[in-house]
Amino acid sequence: MVTMKGSWKLLTVFDIDIELHISFLLLLPLVLFFDWLFSVVLFVLFTSIVAHELTHALIAKREGIEVKRIILLPIGGMAVMSESKLSAFDEFRMAIAGPMFNLVFCTLIALGVWAFGIPIYDLAGWNMVLDTEAAVPFIPFLVSSYFWLNWLLGVFNLFIPAIPLDGGRVFRSVLAMGMKYVDATRIATRVSRIVTVFLFLFAFLTYNLILMVISVFIWLGSAAEMEFALSDELLTGVPLANVIRTNYLLVDDDDSIDMVVEDMITSRSLVALIELDGHIGTTSLYDIRHVPKSKWKTTKIGRVARKLRPISMSHSIMDALKKMNKDQVDALPVTYKHKLKGVVFRDDILKVFEILKVVNA
Ligand SMILES: [Zn+2]
């Protein structure tokens, strides 16, 4: 089944869904074009990446962080977790766990090879087999692939100090043990940019297209890390009471989508609230987009609106933002002693963030 994010669920391990991203279809012609060695290498690479990501995920789960899924992309894996700021020591443990798995696995292979006398290729030999597509015995090639690809994954992830790679997270967590999280992230992001420029140049000069793509992702990823750290720093101190709205668009659950869109335009509101069998529900453009336009006249808004669990007034706007991201909504009802006091909108939080960024620059 294709999920909302465009990936296929392959299997579930320890309650975590392992999903293959749709961009893997791009690799399909390559598999047909190359011989069986290439397929073996792909299989080895992705089982190793899954094990690497699972190690991160299992440590995260032990810290009480919700791990939603692991997505496999052609350039590597990604564990999707709930947004939580970890203590520096916990981040250190979680980041180092993945590459440590690869390096420990390498050591075990080396011991096994030595104990059972399996011949394996050195790095140059393994590369040459791949380049020349030589006819080779299966077991030594498979074992060599597991050894060298895990060595590569372990070293690349651990020793390149660019966030969001594991090495960058380890670096940030060590810094964060002696300073504020946001300052540690700022330094780690600057180092990442320098490292990424060199990584990109190296990839360019060696015609390594995959490494070039990875460099771009690291650059974008480090910017996102900085945004998150900064929002956490600036928004955690702002009480919800400062941003709630008491005038909001309230629609009837019997209204058609057509009518609600009309109301949204006249009130210039991206979100509408709705009474939904005793609960407060919300609907936004996000929900409406999923209904074909031809059905807007006949579909009642109550069918696409979602029930919301309210947030208590005692929280900060950062808590509200995290909750919105988790529930994939753009507004939350705010209550005080179980009574509805108003609504907080994602838009308003982002505006406050933009202002605070300027004030604190
Ligand atoms: Zn990792």
pLDDT per residue as tens digits for the range 181-231: 889 999 999 999 999 999 999 999 998 888 898 899 889 988 888 888 888
pTM: 0.75
Ligand 1 center–CA 197 separation, angstroms: 21
Residue 14 pLDDT level (bands cut at 50, 70, 90): confident
- Which residues make up the environment of ion ligand 1, defined by Cβ < 5 Å? 98, 157, 166
pLDDT tens track for 18-54? 888 877 777 777 666 666 777 788 888 888 988 999 8
pLDDT reported for residue 306: 77
- Domain locations along the chain: 7-235, 240-359
Say how far apart CA 335 and CA 312 lie, in whole Å: 5
Cis amide prior to 164 (ω within 30 degrees): yes
* Alpha carbon distance 95, 173 (integer Å): 9
Mean pLDDT of 172-178: 92
Cα of 98 vs centre of ligand 1, distance in Å, is: 5
Tell me: the pLDDT tens digits for 151-165? 989 998 899 888 888
Q: How remote is the CA of residue 67 from the centroid of ligand 1, in Å?
A: 14
CATH superfamily placement of domain 240-359 = CBS-domain (3.10.580.10)
Looking at per-residue pLDDT, the higher value among 65 and 176 belongs to: 176
CA 169 to centroid of ligand 1, rounded, Å: 9
Tell me how far the alpha carbon of residue 183 lies from the centroid of ligand 1, in angstroms.
23
Q: Determine the distance separating the centroid of ligand 1 and the alpha carbon of 153, expressed in angstroms.
A: 9
Q: How far apart are the CA of 315 and the centre of ligand 1, in A?
A: 32
Assigned token pair, 302? 């109550």
What distance in angstroms lies between residue 157's CA and the mean position of ligand 1's atoms? 6
Helices (H), the chain: 28-33, 36-62, 88-116, 123-132, 138-159, 166-176, 181-205, 209-235, 257-267, 285-288, 317-327, 346-359
Q: Are 163 and 171 in contact (CB under 8 A)?
A: yes
User: Could you tell me which of 329, 334, 347 has the C-alpha nearest to residue 284?
Assistant: 329
- For residue 1, the model assigns a pLDDT of 38
pLDDT band at 3; cut points 50, 70, 90: very low
Flag whether pLDDT at 310 surpasses 80.
Answer: yes
- pLDDT band of 329, cuts 50, 70, 90: confident
Provide the pLDDT for residue 124: 75
Give distance in angstroms: CA of 240 to centre of ligand 1: 35
Q: pLDDT value at position 278?
A: 66
More confidently predicted of 101 and 45? 101
Q: Which residues contact 125 (CB under 8 A, 6 or more apart)?
A: 144
Kindly give the distance from the C-alpha atom of residue 30 to the centroid of ligand 1, in angstroms, as a whole number: 26
Q: State both tokens at 323.
A: 């909750």
**Percent of the chain surpassing pLDDT 90:** 16
Residue 325 vs residue 147, higher pLDDT: 147
User: Does the pLDDT of residue 308 top 90, yes or no?
Assistant: no
